[in-house]
Structure 1
Amino acid sequence: MFLFIYSSLLIVSIQSIPILNTTSSSLPLLLVISFDGFRWDYPDIYDLPNFKSILKRGVRVKHIENSFATVTFPSHYTMVTGLFEETHGIVANTIYDPVLNDTAVVSTMTDTKWWSQNPYSQPIWISNQLANDSNQRRSGVIAWPGCGTPINGHRPYKYENYAAKRPFDSVLEQIFKWFHEPTDTNINFGVVYHSEPDVTGHRFGPISSEMNKTLHEIDNYVGQLLQIVDSDEYLKTHLNVIVTSDHGMHDVDKTRRIRLERYIDTSLFSAYGGNSFANIFVKNKSDIDRIYQNLSVIPNYEVYKKSQIPDEYHYRSNVRIGDILIVGKVGYEIITPGIEETESLGNHGYDNRVESMHPIFYGFGPVFKNNLLAEPFRSVDLYPLMSYILHLNQRQTNGSFDNVKHILIGYRQDNFSKYLVIVCIISVTILALIFTICAYRHSRQLVYVQSNQVPVEYHLLSNNEEAGHRFGPISSEMNKTLHEIDNYVGQLLQIVDSDEYLKTHLNVIVTSDHGMHDVDKTRRIRLERYIDTSLFSAYGGNSFANIFVKNKSDIDRIYQNLSVIPNYEVYKKSQIPDEYHYRSNVRIGDILIVGKVGYEIITPGIAETESLGNHGYDNRVESMHPIFYGFGPVFKSNLLAEPFRSVDLYPLMSYILHLNQRQTNGSFDNVKHILIGYRQDNFSKYLVIVCIISVTIIALIFTICAYRHSRQLVYVQSNQVPVEYHLLSNNEEAGSNFLVTDSEDEEINI
């Protein structure tokens, strides 16, 4: 009956979840624009009306949590691959590869070997083309780092390399021409890069009149973009646009710079990276510690050996990352050997967790929510977002689509989550009800005993362990003593069996307090031979002693004197092992000394004995463990059971006596396995069955919902890859990427 009601509720909830809108048969359209060095808070500092217009018709994310290193080439490659820098291999704007034994800077990083270090790296423009929707998917890329270089054998269908003097309105004009070409040559995915406001930020700083002018120029470009989209009904209805950036910008000045050669001998290392961080490759690995120590004393700079680089950087597992990484605190710069100082007033490349390093994100179009200021996500999450917009199968990357769902209206995750929460609440409520009913039916009734009703038949007996101490645990005398005790047990059994009431109702526990181990005179020490008796007093037994030091300033000295004694464990009070549960009491000494099993301690004033057996050692030692036997109506029969702890005896006896369980250090759960009166076994089986059924139903519902609400994935067979994808050999001559001719302006600092 329960399962019928439960299933009915869940099916009704599924039917009420709206189905995701199906996409049209036409290819999805996406345009991605990156304005280099556009800090997340520029739109708030400088009044930019067209960026505000994007927010009204789309989404603004508070900021992007970008990856380290926060510089142009690594960040842009992360954006289009969804991989951290340590994974894709573009670790800086200046790279040294010890395997290739070669170096590259932005103007020479045009060879396949730099971009194809990881054979899994696949820019989103290649993923779009390889999806192979009737040979119609084509990507066009303008000026994006790496776009003109074959990456693992592929280039975009259309591309134009970076040109420093090219105005951005001509870039917009070209990319939309590609969108509007005939169906056999047009693109469905465009990616463009613009070097501003990074250039202005470096020259004049992030807060300046020059930056205000540059940002308003960019805002005008955004206005042109909006006009182009709004003037074309098809683009207005189908095109999704992302406006983002790679990193932010922070103010710098000459007073916050160091030159590496002033701290370490330049013959010992080479350094690559940028002015905010440097990968230091040490020529002789034996010098790493010395160089690390020299650099570590410099204030306002973070220095890490490669193994110590913070996990948050995701910047460790690549041969192109140096033996030592030095990173300036935000605003502080590093001048590496051979690099000239500049007049820059702004820089980036710092810790990716620093607020001023975070870039912008805006999105508008049919998949984005409207007028939403959204929570941040990471730059590696851009790849799965673009894959979703382009209807691509999600590749495994460092990003997660779950992190970007909140900005989308095409993905009905919100409603689904609400229904799933309702289903989970119903499920938990029903399970709790089942648990309560089963627990009530299968639990034993608890009897609360008043203090004046305690029975007197407890027979507290004297402690008699004389034979073990006198003759040792393995001896003829012990054999005789144990047989005497065994005879007492025989008498006990006869008494119980002769009384029908006792036989039916009496539960009997036969147990002990500890075990016994053999000792002899050759394994003893006298404490006064190691420490002055006037400094302490000692209490305990022959196997351990609590030492109370009269003057607390003597504790360390006494501890050191005792610690050199072999075969004895010595602890300051705070160091006593947790397993002892022997620390938090004023009656425990400042120092505890415990003999290893079989070794004894003679404290001052105590005479030596002729004992051949002793106890009191580490409670984890096997020979210290005592017995437990139990019989009667609550105990199982003929059972050799697993061990439990002495503190668990109290809850066991409380259960047998029908007492309310008091809070102690013991646990009734540890002794349930020896009882037949406690019906835990059957209850557990029923509960497990109920849980399995519930989880199965929830999993089935989740699968159905996910199937109904997911976007259709397109799987590409290897033999279906079209020839238009420009499969290139790794040694093919690449075009001039990010190369400035003599007629152009000076190369920009990115």
Structure 2
Amino acid sequence: MQALLRCLLSLAFCSTATTVATKQHKLLLISFDGFRYDYANEEPMFPAFQYLNANGVRAKYLQGAFPTLTSPSHMSIATGLYTESHNVVHNCHYNMSVGHQGSDFLSTLPVNYWWDTGVEPIWIAAVNQGLKSGAYMFPGSYATINGVSATKKVLQKQFMPYSQRSWQNRISTVVGWLKDEDMDFVALYFEEPDTLSHELGPDSKRVRYDVKSWVSNTIMHLLKKVEDAGLTDDLNIIFLSDHGHIPINTTVGSDDAVSLSKHINIDDIDFQFCYGPIGLIEPKPGKLVSVYQALKGQSNVQVYYKEEMPERWHLKGSDRIPSIIVVGEPGYYVFWKFPGYHPTRGDHGFDNELVNMRAFYYSIGPSFKKNYVVDGFESVHIYPLMCHLLGIQPAPNNGSLDLLLNTLVSDTDVPSVAVYLAVLIIACIAIYFVYCRRRKGARKKYKGV
């Protein structure tokens, strides 16, 4: 009898120890550029973040790729690859062999060669495996990769200041794709609070309150549109950002600003590109050591030979990175020549282990647990999760699905018929066993009278 009970208990355990639910749903990926990890949980907490906390999964933080620039960070999210592997190493396209570089982030978005590096972002993986994908302004999504594009894509070619109507129009477009055109996956991008964080600084009142209000209102509007479209039970949504922001030290004058030209001669350089806190330097042949040693003497920066860069940056394997890289200390820009003024009050691109470079992450939908918190994790783990949610085979990547499986609803959260039957059988046998023992005891007592 005891052996039988143990066997049935084992059966019940095996019935409950099932894998994560495999039913596929549509997926919407939404990025708010530069939304720092700590904004969402600051008091007063805005309604959208209260709702997401109660009804979805929250990560304590998301660690983006290095450099913590918009394009590299978004490509690591979309491919599950570190920067050296997807090779989109910068916001601006450049060619070291001819000394050319693009002027800014927006002008680089339609430059196909910069993005078509042989890797497979999630919107391409979806199309290659028979699904339909859409992308609205998400960095890299306008490119054609190995001859394949997203099913639908929208690119904004110039900066557009925030307006509630324009953001709501984006939402209407992507919800329409999901409902009316039966898209399986859509990636959507919003450029705030990044632009205002650059202009005003990440700790300014307008960024810490007004922009959070914009983001909160946008999330709540989106969830209402999803509900109105009848998609709530068939749509998983991931909200995230690419990086954080830190204030720039604008008190530094010309004497103390990081100006590489004060230490090295342009005639010794084949290629230089200084952008935010990152300086890329390729010396002329025979000048590598002298240029490196001259730069090492400058304060408020870290200077590395390419092969000396920290392994955790996962950057040295890229053929787009020159022989020397200069990285500013927190709060310091890297200029070729300081212009005499500070162009921004906040920035990113710094070491991705800095706390204020951390991004935020929420997920909500039929596949995700509610009121669930996970520790911080690297952004490369999102790609295999998205592939799992869509039921497609991931391309080779640096992420691990195992890291985020515990955020998903599993079969154990809804007991199966087998579990109920096993419990019922165990209960019946237990009752019968107790009855037999009592009856046997009663017979012994009767014989003893």
TM over 0.5: yes
Offset at 1:18?
4.0
Structure 2 distance, partners of 1:411, 1:147, is: 34
* 2:129 alignment partner AA: A
Offset at 1:164?
2.7
Change (3 A) 1:272 1:213: same
Indicate whether 1:91 and 2:89 are aligned. yes
* 1:174 alignment partner AA: T
Q: Which structure 2 segments of 5+ residues have no match? A: 416-449
Contact 2:235–2:366 (Cα < 8 Å) also in 1: yes
- State the TM-score, normalized to the length of structure 1: 0.50
With 240-249 and 296-305 compared, the bigger mean Cα shift is at 296-305
C-alpha offsets along residues 11-32 of structure 1, whole Å, 9 cap, x if unaligned? 74863434347655xx621111
Report how many residues are paired. Answer: 397
Structure 2 distance, partners of 1:122, 1:339, is: 40
Partner residue in 1 for 2:351: 351
Change (3 A) 1:55 1:343: same
Structure 2 distance, partners of 1:20, 1:245, is: 29
Q: Secondary structure at the match of 2:16?
A: coil
Report which structure shows greater RCO (CA 8 Å, sep ≥6).
2
Offset at 1:9?
10
Contact 2:88–2:115 (Cα < 8 Å) also in 1: yes
- State the TM-score, normalized to the length of structure 2: 0.82
Partner residue in 1 for 2:420: none
Structure 1 distance, partners of 2:290, 2:348, is: 29
Contact 1:205–1:344 (Cα < 8 Å) also in 2: yes
Partner residue in 1 for 2:167: 168
Offset at 1:302?
0.9
Partner residue in 2 for 1:670: none
Q: Secondary structure at the match of 1:190?
A: strand
Structure 1 distance, partners of 2:147, 2:412, is: 37
Matches within 5 A, 1:203-242: 203-211=199-207, 212-232=209-229, 234-242=230-238
Indicate whether 1:191 and 2:190 are aligned. no
Contact 1:253–1:344 (Cα < 8 Å) also in 2: no
Q: Secondary structure at the match of 1:43?
A: coil
C-alpha offsets along residues 45-97 of structure 1, whole Å, 9 cap, x if unaligned? 35322112111100110001111010111111111011111111111113433
Contact 2:61–2:361 (Cα < 8 Å) also in 1: yes
Change (3 A) 1:411 1:242: farther
Indicate whether 1:260 and 2:260 are aligned. yes
* 2:53 alignment partner AA: L
* 2:198 alignment partner AA: H
Indicate whether 1:41 and 2:42 are aligned. no
Indicate whether 1:71 and 2:52 are aligned. no
Structure 1 distance, partners of 2:338, 2:301, is: 20
* 1:86 alignment partner AA: E
Partner residue in 2 for 1:276: 277
Contact 2:258–2:299 (Cα < 8 Å) also in 1: no
Structure 1 distance, partners of 2:9, 2:297, is: 63
Pairing partner for 1:139 from 130, 133, 137: 133
C-alpha offsets along residues 127-177 of structure 1, whole Å, 9 cap, x if unaligned? 111222xxxx21110011122221221111111102532721111111011
Contact 1:82–1:381 (Cα < 8 Å) also in 2: yes
Structure 2 distance, partners of 1:263, 1:395, is: 45
Change (3 A) 1:130 1:339: farther
Contact 1:71–1:92 (Cα < 8 Å) also in 2: yes
Structure 2 distance, partners of 1:155, 1:342, is: 39
Partner residue in 2 for 1:295: 295
Change (3 A) 1:411 1:397: farther
With 207-216 and 272-281 compared, the bigger mean Cα shift is at 272-281
Structure 2 distance, partners of 1:347, 1:46, is: 24
Offset at 1:98?
3.6
Change (3 A) 1:21 1:325: closer
Matches within 5 A, 1:139-158: 139-158=133-152
Change (3 A) 1:288 1:109: farther
Partner residue in 2 for 1:702: none
Indicate whether 1:392 and 2:392 are aligned. yes
* 1:227 alignment partner AA: K
Indicate whether 1:334 and 2:334 are aligned. yes
C-alpha offsets along residues 216-253 of structure 1, whole Å, 9 cap, x if unaligned? 11111111112223334x41111101110100000013
Q: Secondary structure at the match of 2:281?
A: strand
Change (3 A) 1:223 1:169: same
Pairing partner for 1:103 from 101, 104, 122: 101
Partner residue in 2 for 1:468: none
Change (3 A) 1:108 1:43: closer
Indicate whether 1:244 and 2:245 are aligned. no
Change (3 A) 1:52 1:22: closer
Contact 1:67–1:313 (Cα < 8 Å) also in 2: yes
Larger Rg over CA atoms: 1
Offset at 1:41?
0.3
Structure 1 distance, partners of 2:175, 2:340, is: 41
Q: Secondary structure at the match of 1:199?
A: helix
Structure 1 distance, partners of 2:217, 2:313, is: 35
Offset at 1:102?
4.7
Q: Secondary structure at the match of 1:83?
A: coil
After superposition, the CA RMSD in angstroms is 2.6
Change (3 A) 1:8 1:46: closer
Change (3 A) 1:155 1:64: same
Structure 2 distance, partners of 1:157, 1:407, is: 29
Pairing partner for 1:123 from 109, 121, 124: 121
Q: Secondary structure at the match of 2:343?
A: coil
Offset at 1:122?
0.6
C-alpha offsets along residues 392-433 of structure 1, whole Å, 9 cap, x if unaligned? 1132201111121222224769x9xxxxxxxxxxxxxxxxxx
Contact 1:382–1:399 (Cα < 8 Å) also in 2: yes
Contact 2:274–2:335 (Cα < 8 Å) also in 1: no
Percentage of pairs with the same residue: 30
Change (3 A) 1:289 1:411: farther
Structure 2 distance, partners of 1:22, 1:53, is: 24
Change (3 A) 1:267 1:254: farther
C-alpha offsets along residues 337-378 of structure 1, whole Å, 9 cap, x if unaligned? 598854311010000000100100011001111111211111
Indicate whether 1:306 and 2:306 are aligned. yes
